[in-house]
Structure 1
Amino acid sequence: MSSPWPILHVISALTTGGVQHQLAKVVTHYDRGQFDPTVCCLSRKGEIGRELEEAGIEVEVLGDRVSGFRFRTLRSLYGHLRRQPVAVLRAHKYRSSLYAVLAGRMAQVPVIVPSFHLPQPARKRRRRCLIRLLCHWSDRVVAVSSAVAQNLVGEIGVPADKIQVIHNGVDLDDFRDLPQRQEARRRLGLSEHDWILGAVGRMKRQKGFEHLLRALPHLEEGGLRDYQLLMVGEGPLRPSLERQVQEMGLGQRVKFLGLRRDVPELLRAMDLFVFPSLWEGFGTALVEAMLAEVPVVASDLPCIREIIPDEDFGWLVPPGDEEALAQGILRALQDSERAADRIASARERARERFSLHKVVATYQQMFGELLAFKGYGDGRG
């Protein structure tokens, strides 16, 4: 029996974040008979790195700064590839791709596949040129949504036939056998009588949490009195968001829960999930809420339309519009007539389109086809 193909994933850091979580989910679910994964982070190992090691995945840490471009980092990654040759080199986000594609070409790695997780800024001419060059030197480019793919083609100038859209995936096993809503609330010590709203994500400007907080007074103007908002996650904006809550007199309404490992159970306790992002490449937390059978209100962004195409699956509101966000929340809470059908449709859509099993199978098929095209057997281990 042939040995599995070695595959290296490169990322700037393995601290907690959506891209890092998705990387960890994918590499721990590869068919080890076909692919043998390792991970290299340019700077810090972080919590996700330690979890990968506990799962038996080797993690290499270069230990360099991630800001700017450092030839030392390029030499270190090239040296790693020379010492431990790989068949497939995967890079996540722009900065990691910059190092990985260059080092991979120098080390003559057979298959190089960078991925982009957010729309890239077209106004930055130097970045546009570098992304086009990196994609030219790659065998395939992954975009996590059609919206990101359209940005790469229309704004950056990447050839469309170089790009493959592979959405992020969610492990369906994490959402099996969840408790009923009232039981979930009891376990978490939440009120059985309040409306429970929730938001999950890294606390940074992109996620729009400050707009969500500013929308809360409009809820009370609309007649919603008994509610709590659960804010799940960490990030650089948490201190300012906490100050905003105190300044608005919302200390009894809003709870900051930090990083949690029981997100499916937390989602299950909610009456409504709110996703107020200002820009996104995908919306994994939104898919998780749909799987937990929680109604969703989200920003109307192109990538979100790939998850929630219309109001048969959830409510969409203009990003950054606090009054519209409040009205969307009120409509969602008041719409008991169609709630069950909408929840069921959303859950089924999430299961069919965004399962981790389907995503991993798509990646493995892509790697196999690229290896076979390069003349490496039939692409199998």
Structure 2
Amino acid sequence: MTKHLRVLMVAQRFPPYHFAGAELQALALSRALQRRGHAVSVLTTRFRGDQPLGDQRVEGVPVFRVATVSGALLKPTQLLSMASHVVARARGVDIVHGHALSSATLGALAAALAVKRPVVLKQSLGGAEGDLARVRGSRAARPLLELMRRADAFIALRSSIADELVAAGMPAQRIHLLANGVDLTRFCPPDTREERVRERAQLGLPAGPLALFVGQLVARKGIASLLRAWRSLQRHEPDAWLVVVGKGTDEELVTRAAADGARLRFVGLRADVPRLMRVADVLVLPSRNEGCPNVALEALASGLPLVVGRHTLPADLTLAVDCGRVVDDLGDDVELGRALATQLARARALDEGEEAAWRDALARRRASVAQLDIDLVAQRYEALYRQLLQR
């Protein structure tokens, strides 16, 4: 009989109080591993005073929140606090999996090494704004990098992140390229065009061309460029609407654009993103830097085409013609607007054509992420965990 594993997931922040991609992916993976019979728990921090301490359950996953005195991602006191909690749980843990590089995950690494438990470290974002850059820019860079080099395995979401890890001195043989996964049950296309029209009306959204943005409203996600491109597009597509889902430091840009007459709806954080994806015509993600964006995978799983930047998706996730458009220069608002207009026109043509052709297009988009089904991704992680435990 195959031994069930006891996996401790560690993240600096975690739902339902934080909804960034790395944390949502950690939750999705935890649930998928649970479905495979493994005992999964999460150790995270309480980064605001109004959040509860101690034990919770989030979508069926046991979560323990540790008190913290700062929301900073690299803080010595947090590292020590998290390390002590990992040591206290060591008897009931087979493997420790850290999501993104932070005080929480590096503290967990230090503790796991002390109690001889294998550790997997996942870097969620590369580049100048990424996890590793933050570590290398800290005052404790040298000891933190030395600590990191002792991890049993590293997860890179794309080859450029793997290259960064090697350049920082991480052993190349311990680096594994593993993309994020998507819940193909939760994110699925409508069965018919009639169902899509009916569901859009139920959501109170207008008929006509509808673009969707889902993500953190921060500079890296390109929301300012999108809003400028949308204004340009509206001169040629006066019936088109943009729905913006998310929150962040650039919220004011969105509310100001709406107040100035842009045809957009800012709906904040939403729990019904799968429904929104089922009724939209295109998902736009003009992000200048990503790891493996969950929202792009979710859109394709929902049958929704994409408009993305050249570096938004990992290189091995290529888009077929009817899966979307790639914008080479996200700084060119005209090019972004043109790509959006082209994709909306294609959506309109499919809506007005044969239903079978419409259904086939949705099926091809969904098929493009079939190998990233979160249950298949969980199998790959399970295989890695078992490999590490056999050493």
Bin of the TM-score, shorter chain as denominator length: 0.7 to 0.9
Is 1:314 the equivalent of 2:356? no
Deviations along 1:94-120, one digit per CA (max 9) or x if unpaired, are: 1133222222223x2320111001104
Is 1:324 the equivalent of 2:335? yes
Using a 3 Å threshold, how does the CA distance of structure 1 residues 215 and 32 change in structure 2: closer, same or farther? closer
The CA deviation at 1:76 is: 2.4
| Structure 1 partner of 2:310 | 300
Which moved further from structure 2: 49-58 or 172-181? Answer: 49-58
After superposition, residues 70-89 of structure 1 pair within 5 angstroms as 70-85=75-90, 86-89=93-96
Contact 1:145 1:166 in 2 (8 A): yes
| Structure 2 partner of 1:91 | 98
The structure 2 residue matched to 1:162, chosen from 174, 192, 209, is: 174
After superposition, residues 33-72 of structure 1 pair within 5 angstroms as 35-44=38-47, 53-64=57-68, 65-67=70-72, 69-72=74-77
The structure 2 residue matched to 1:200, chosen from 214, 230, 248, is: 214
After superposition, residues 1-381 of structure 1 pair within 5 angstroms as 4-14=4-14, 15-31=18-34, 35-44=38-47, 53-64=57-68, 65-67=70-72, 69-85=74-90, 86-95=93-102, 96-106=104-114, 108-121=115-128, 125-126=136-137, 129=142, 132-154=145-167, 156-176=168-188, 178=190, 180-192=195-207, 194-221=208-235, 223-246=236-259, 248-250=260-262, 253-301=263-311, 303-311=313-321, 313-317=323-327, 318-335=329-346, 336=349, 340=358, 343-350=362-369, 352-373=370-391
* SS of residue in 1 equivalent to 2:87: helix
| Structure 2 partner of 1:377 | none
Deviations along 1:15-73, one digit per CA (max 9) or x if unpaired, are: 22211111111112214775321111133489999996054433222211242644433
Contact 1:42 1:63 in 2 (8 A): yes
Amino acid in the other structure paired with 1:93: A
Amino acid in the other structure paired with 1:355: D
Amino acid in the other structure paired with 1:181: R
Amino acid in the other structure paired with 2:94: A
TM-score, normalised via structure 2 length: 0.84
Contact 1:147 1:302 in 2 (8 A): no
* SS of residue in 2 equivalent to 1:274: strand
Contact 1:231 1:254 in 2 (8 A): yes
* Alpha-carbon separation, structure 2, partners of 1:218 and 1:114: 43
Using a 3 Å threshold, how does the CA distance of structure 1 residues 235 and 111 change in structure 2: closer, same or farther? same
For these two proteins, the number of residue pairs brought into alignment is 365
* Alpha-carbon separation, structure 2, partners of 1:66 and 1:31: 29
* SS of residue in 1 equivalent to 2:243: strand
* Alpha-carbon separation, structure 2, partners of 1:258 and 1:158: 39
Using a 3 Å threshold, how does the CA distance of structure 1 residues 232 and 118 change in structure 2: closer, same or farther? same
Which stretches in structure 1 are left out of the alignment for 5+ residues? Answer: 374-381
* Alpha-carbon separation, structure 1, partners of 2:322 and 2:189: 25
Using a 3 Å threshold, how does the CA distance of structure 1 residues 52 and 238 change in structure 2: closer, same or farther? farther
Using a 3 Å threshold, how does the CA distance of structure 1 residues 48 and 226 change in structure 2: closer, same or farther? farther
* Alpha-carbon separation, structure 2, partners of 1:310 and 1:292: 16
Contact 1:178 1:264 in 2 (8 A): no
* Alpha-carbon separation, structure 1, partners of 2:275 and 2:116: 42
